[in-house]
Chains A and B, each alone.
Chain A
Amino acid sequence: MDLTRRQILELTAASAALAGVASLPVFAATEEAKARAARTAAMLADFVGSSTPQPGRIALNVAELQENGFSVPITVNVDSPMTVDDYVAEVLILADLNPDPGVLRLAFTPMSGSATVTTRIRLARTQTLIAVAKMNDGTTYIDKKFIKVTIGGCGA
């Protein structure tokens, strides 16, 4: 097959564009991604203190596929009687590959009646959303959801 100079240039440009697309999902392997994941781990460790977060009691409700990272609806719910003796004190929500992993730190009291919160957040890219609940006795519970984001929503 004989290619003209123009055809070769076009092919080169097309393959470069393809390579660019293909390299996007590899963000998780970059130094920046490792730094963000490390910040997430540090914030999580700071929140849970000496406790080891257990699965269960807390549930993150969010659709796995998100077209628009600028506005991702999420609901977090913690199973608790919310009495003076037994209630959810705090919930921390983190997005591990956002430029700042912190999303929200929620504080409840027995007057909250339940620990159920719905909000809308920004996700810069495909990543894991983490929610940790701290009970009034200091025990902690964790849930994680991997969310695929089509258009990132942080401008970063």
Chain B
Amino acid sequence: MAASSSKPRVKVPETAKKGDIIVIKTLVRHMMESGHRTDRKTGEKIPRMIINSFSATFEGQPVFSAIIEPAVSANPYLQFTAKVERSGTFEFLWIDDEGVEYRTSRSITVEG
């Protein structure tokens, strides 16, 4: 599958205490063409082209994922939480209708 050069924006705290529930904010740039709009010049429907899935893992373990429909706004924003017990790396993956993958990762240091 193709990889996008577009860098998603993700905010994960750099440090946390063991057992903390942290807030993760994510945003990926994407027009999220719904498939319901009509081209005003040709009168034809503009084909659907959206980010259709998102997943967040921590050290390979699933934390949160979403199946995304055209009703999610352009540049889809997802804010969710994770419980951290140890230091490690979060991996984030978005996939669009053409199979293009958008990836990024963030590490966190967990104390105590």
Chain A residues close to B by CB (< 8 Å):
70-72, 82, 95, 98-100, 102-114, 116-123, 153-156
Contact = CB atoms under 8 A, between A and B. Distances in A.
Contacts of A121: 71-73
Interface in B2-53: 21-22, 34, 36-38
Interface of B: prevailing SS: strand
Contact of B68 (A70, A104, A112): A104
Contacts of B61: 109, 111
Contacts of B74: 70
Given A107-B64, A109-B62, A122 B81 contact: no
Given A111-B63, A120-B77, A155-B36, A104 B69 contact: yes
Interface size grouping (class) on chain B: 20 to 34
Name which of A98, A116, A122 has the most chain B CB atoms within 10 A of its CB.
Answer: A122
A156 B72 contact: no
B106 interface: no
A110 B84 CA distance: 11
Nearest to A113: B83
Contacts of B83: 82, 110-114
A151 to B, nearest CB: 13
Contacts of B80: 112, 116-118
